[in-house]
Structure formats: C-alpha cells, structure tokens
Chain A
Amino acid sequence: MSEKIPVTVLTGYLGAGKTTLLNRILTEDHGKKFAVIVNEFGETGIDGDLVVGADEEVFEMNNGCICCTVRGDLIRILDGLMKRKGKFDAIIVETTGLADPAPVAQTFFVDQDVGDATKLDAVVTVTDAKWLRERLKDAPEAKNQIAFADVIILNKTDLVSPEELAAVEAAIRAINPYAKLHRTTRCDLPIDQLLDRNAFDLDRILDIEPDFLEAGHHHHHSDEVRSLSFTIPGDVDPEKFMPWINDLSQAQGPNILRSKGILAFKDEPRRFVFQGVHMILDGDLQRDWKSGETRNSRLVFIGRDLDEAELRKGFLACAA
C-alpha cells in the first residue's frame, strides 16, 4: 500500500495571521511541494497550480449520527487531487475564521476514500495574542478552534505586554493544555514545527502529555470549553470500558470535541490507544508496554459542559 499523503488543517480567527503563515509555508525553501485548499479563492493573495478554492460545504451523514458532519467539498477536492499523486508531498487545508474544525477532522475518519489516500496530520490554530481573549468571550468558533488544536501559534506577541501574554496563555491552557504552543510575531517559526506532527497517529498519542502534568492547574470555572484528564493507576477491564466509552460518545458526542486515551487492558501485553472526534472513535492495540513502563490507563476529554464527577465515576468503574 502506498504512503498516505499528510494533511495539515490550518484554522484561526480572522486576522490572526493564517495567510501570513500559509505564505511562509509556501515560499520557504524546504524542498516540499504542497497542494493547498483555501477559502475565498483568489482573494487571499495565494496563488499557484495546486491552490484550490473550497466552499465549506458541510453536510450531515445519513448514518444516524447527529453530529457526524463532514465537508463534501473536501471529499470532492481530495478525490481530484489524489489522481495526481506524486505532484505534491503534502496537503494544507485552510478553513475560514468562522469554521468549526470538527467537520474537517471528521471527514478524514468518515470518508473511506479520503481515509485510504490521506491522513490527518494535525490541526494547527493561529491565534492573535492581542485579541484572542476578546474572541473567546464573544465567538464560540474561536474556542472550538483552540479546543481542537494540536499545535497553537500564539501570534503577534510583540503587541502585548508580558502580563497580557501570560494571561492569554492561561486562557488557552484552560481550554487545551495538550497542544504544542508556539509564541511568534509574524508567524515566524520553523516549518517542521507545523508539519509531520502525526498528531492523529495512534502511535504518537503519547504526545498528549500536557506541558504541565497535574490536573489541578486547570483553575478555570467560567469557561464552558475545558479539558479533563483521568487516570487509573493500573489496568482496565475492556468488557467494561468499551461499552462505557461507546455509550458515552453516543450520548455526549456533541459536547466532546476531542478525546484521547492510552489504556492498559487486563491480560493484554499491548497498549490500547484511541482517539475520538465527537462521536467518532478510532482505537487499536498498539505496541507492547515496555519493561519499566507503568501500566497506567489514562483518558483525556476536551469538550463543552463536561460533567467531571460523572466522567470520573464512569471511568473509574472500568478498573479491572
């Protein structure tokens, strides 16, 4: 089977610096060729043979899953691009500032043709250090984009004081402590910090270790979008865990933006690794637990209106 083409999804609120970043990626001398799927084609100042205009045509799959929305235009465009394999090394999908990243991410899990040919590498969110806190108050999309991100670029840091910068970082971390965060002025960071992240690769999910480890650091209560992490110091029973996580994702899928986990199943030498986007779960047994590695079972949820006590109780009841 041939190599899957990596796809990087670029999100960010209007004016945060997405176009600047896109131009950096396209013009920097890194020897890679990109196909770029942009919005407002012809108006962004980005041009080239492999620049394609998209229309953000979101539709609901007819599969009984109410939050299972995908991007029809993306499926169509990727299908067209895949006939020209070898002409580019990677694909970048730019979304509008108002877009919800979920349908984009779900497209890669739900559509089989897309999933066979490409892999979602990472969701990169560009934010504006000066205005992000305002946007988090008035724009739910801005919050979703932070919650969904694997990489966050905190841009225009030269426009704020060190105190303001600390405050905006804390606001980001309250929503998503797991993303890699880069502080930039004009989006100046090495491109390899953005590409080939393998953030959705089950092998690499250990990277979810947050920058600061203790859950006690999440001192926020007013924000509705937040992250929760739970650990069982030992094995879980798959007979209990699988039905629980399936029911949970069905019942609370609309509120769970992303979920990730590494679990030790009873009598199973391999780690069970899974991730989810809303109701869509993707999990598999991966490599063996290494000798000296503690068999802990850990889950992370990023979502809206999550009931921490209920989730903890449910998960702890899965202990073997």
Chain B
Amino acid sequence: MDTIAKPVSLREHVVPVEAAEHVVAAHWLKSTLALALADGRVLRWREGESELIEAHAGGVLSACCDGERLITGGDDGRVVALTAEGQATELARDEKRRWIDSVTLSASGSLAWNAGRSVHARDDKGKVKSLDVASTPQGLVFAPKGYRLAIAQMNGVSLWYPNTEAKPECLEWKGSHLDVTWSPDGRFVVSAMQENALHGWRLGEKPSHMRMTGYPSKPRSLSWSHDGLWLASSGADAAIIWPFQGDGPQGKAPRECGARHAKVTRVAFHPRALVLAVGYDDGCILMIRLTDASELLVRPAQKGSGITAFAWDKPGKRLAFGTEDGAAGVLTLPAAG
C-alpha cells in the first residue's frame, strides 16, 4: 500500500469527449450525454460512443433538459426537442427567424421560449400562450411549483401566469437583467445583471430587494445547492456562494471558494451533497466540498479551453463538462472507500 500522500486529484477519472466546437450547454438524458454545440449540432455520447445530430442551421443559443429530452433554441428561429435515442423533433419555428435566446422547462413538462421580444409558454397539454415584453429576454425560468414564468429583461423581472389573463407582476430594478433563477423552495427570484451583480427578490405581499454586488464581471452561471440553502455564482476569481437560509443573503457575507488567478465561468452543485464543481476561464476545474473547503483537481488549466458548461447526472456519479474549444469530458467519481 502506498502511504505517501499524493496531491489529491480526480484527473485520472476523467474521460475526454471530443466535441471540436464551442459547447453551449451539457445535459444528461439518463445515461446519455448531450452536448449542444455553437455550430448548431448536438453531440450524443454514451460510454465512449458518440454521434453528431444536426439540430439547427446556424448555431445553438440555448438549451434545457428534463432528463428525458433536450430542448434547444437556435439562431434559425427553431425550438427543437431531442431524445436520448437521437430523434429530433421541431416544436416551434419563428416566422421571422428571430433568435431563440432562451428556453426553459418546468418540472411538469411545460416549455417556454422567446423569439425576439415575444415570450411563448406551452403547458403540458400543448396549449401555447404568448406575451410581448419590452426588451428581448435572455433569461426564462419556471417557478418550482405551479405554472408561472419569470422573465428577465431590462429594468426588472416579470412574473407571468400564462394561463390567466392577469397582467404579469413586475419586479422592478433598474438595469439590464440577463439570467434568472428561482429558488427550489419558491421563495426567492434572483437575476444576474449586466452591472456585474446579482439582484434578488424575496417574494411575498411586498417583495423585498437583495443586492449582491462586488463581482468583477457578469455572474452568468448560477447553481442552487440540493438543499436550496446556497446559491453559487460565477463572475469572480472564486466561486461566490450566497446563503439563502431564513430571510436570504441581505446583509450577510458570501462564502468564497476556489480562489485562483482566473475567472470562474461555470458553477454546478452536486445534486445530493454540498459539493461544488467550479470551472474557470483558463480551463481548470476544481471540485470543492463546502463543509471544509477542501479542493480536488478535476482538470488542470488548458490554454484556450475555458469551461463553458457543466452537467451532473441525476445520481451525482458523473460530471460532464464542455469548453470553448470543444475539448469536453466526463468525470466519473470514484466509488467511496
């Protein structure tokens, strides 16, 4: 038995996946990995076997997944669904071929997407409702429960019940809101802003504001911990993790994990443990345990290969990552013991 302490690393547990193109998003369809690529194709990968599927004419701009199907939005104005078996179906097409900047799915299978300033929501029975908003939304997310959609746009986030005639509720805050996320318990809505900040609202009769500032760049990647008590974010030289216990992070300091001389571009919490995958613009990936801030190296820095996408599989055994130059990979966590 080797008793000399080795630098802790998970590197040898990573299998490369050659995507050759900028990876826009990564998702697991059960045990099949789907990488949505900037050239409009989707790479299907399963145990070392891969296949490319043409999904969009130009490029994939957005993608989401419910574990059964991958939904992609493209710059050809189309919304496409892809199964684990690789079967592609067009769900919607914009007549004016506007970009589909955002797609999102709810837990019950409802789908929403935008085409320019028009937002469309399709419930699980297939009924489509549409809403025109003041500026092109880049962030859409459904509430964890109920058929309600948050729409990030200029000067705030709108909360829309697509199946009612009621005017959307507007959570106002000056500036441009890019991405939006809803806390798993439904109590908080948080947006990522152009102004290098997060802005949060605690929902209720009178929504209260939470300002989370101090980022040197835009925090474009957000991830909730499995217990919903922490929100990790990119945009700084460390992962910034805000506490959402009780009334939320207002007045509290965030945790900072994995500080390096590089910018964090992606974060993804493990689906069952307080472990965070952190990807940097220099290509490095660290796995960080929140309880003791211990770090494991998953991928060393690699020039021109900044991390662009993460996906944990449902059991939390495998982490897929995508990069700017297409050098993707899959980490399989070694069995404990």
- Residue in contact with A53 in the complex, picked from B39, B96, B194, CB distance below 8 Å: B96
Q: Quick check: A55 and B117 within 8 Å, CB to CB?
A: yes
Q: Quick check: A84 and B22 within 8 Å, CB to CB?
A: yes
A63 proximal to B (CB < 8 A) = yes
Q: Quick check: A57 and B59 within 8 Å, CB to CB?
A: no
- Residue in contact with A62 in the complex, picked from B97, B135, B175, CB distance below 8 Å: B175
- Chain B hits for A316, CB < 8 A: none
Count A-B contacts at CB 8 Å.
Answer: 69
- Chain A hits for B274, CB < 8 A: none
- Residue in contact with B174 in the complex, picked from A57, A62, A113, CB distance below 8 Å: A62
In the complex, what's the smallest C-beta–C-beta distance from B194 to chain A, in angstroms? 7
Q: Quick check: B176 and A59 within 8 Å, CB to CB?
A: yes
Q: Quick check: B176 and A72 within 8 Å, CB to CB?
A: yes
- Residue in contact with B58 in the complex, picked from A49, A57, A75, CB distance below 8 Å: A49
Q: Quick check: A2 and B304 within 8 Å, CB to CB?
A: yes
Given contact pairs A55-B116, A62-B195, A83-B22, A76 touches B174 in the complex (Cβ within 8 A)? no
Q: Quick check: B194 and A61 within 8 Å, CB to CB?
A: yes
- Chain A residue at smallest Cβ distance from B308: A83
* A interface residues, how many (CB within 8 angstroms): 27
Expressed in whole angstroms, the Cα–Cα distance for A42 and B180 within the complex equals: 30
- Chain B residue at smallest Cβ distance from A61: B195
A80 proximal to B (CB < 8 A) = yes
A212 proximal to B (CB < 8 A) = no
B75 proximal to A (CB < 8 A) = yes
* B interface residues, how many (CB within 8 angstroms): 30
- Residue in contact with B135 in the complex, picked from A42, A52, A55, A84, CB distance below 8 Å: A55
A112 proximal to B (CB < 8 A) = yes
Q: Quick check: A84 and B98 within 8 Å, CB to CB?
A: no
- Chain B residue at smallest Cβ distance from A83: B38
Given contact pairs A59-B155, A72-B194, A112 touches B39 in the complex (Cβ within 8 A)? no
Q: Quick check: A52 and B75 within 8 Å, CB to CB?
A: yes
- Chain A residue at smallest Cβ distance from B173: A62
A41 proximal to B (CB < 8 A) = yes
Q: Quick check: A49 and B304 within 8 Å, CB to CB?
A: no
Q: 16 pairs across A/B with beta carbons < 8 Å? A: A49-B57, A49-B58, A52-B99, A55-B116, A55-B117, A55-B135, A57-B154, A59-B175, A59-B194, A61-B194, A76-B101, A76-B138, A77-B99, A80-B61, A84-B22, A87-B39
Q: Which 10 A-B pairs have the closest CB atoms?
A: A83-B38, A62-B175, A83-B22, A62-B195, A57-B135, A72-B176, A84-B38, A59-B154, A59-B176, A49-B58
The chain A residues found within 8 Å of chain B, CB to CB, are 2, 41-42, 49-50, 52-53, 55, 57, 59-63, 72-73, 75-77, 80, 83-85, 87, 111-113
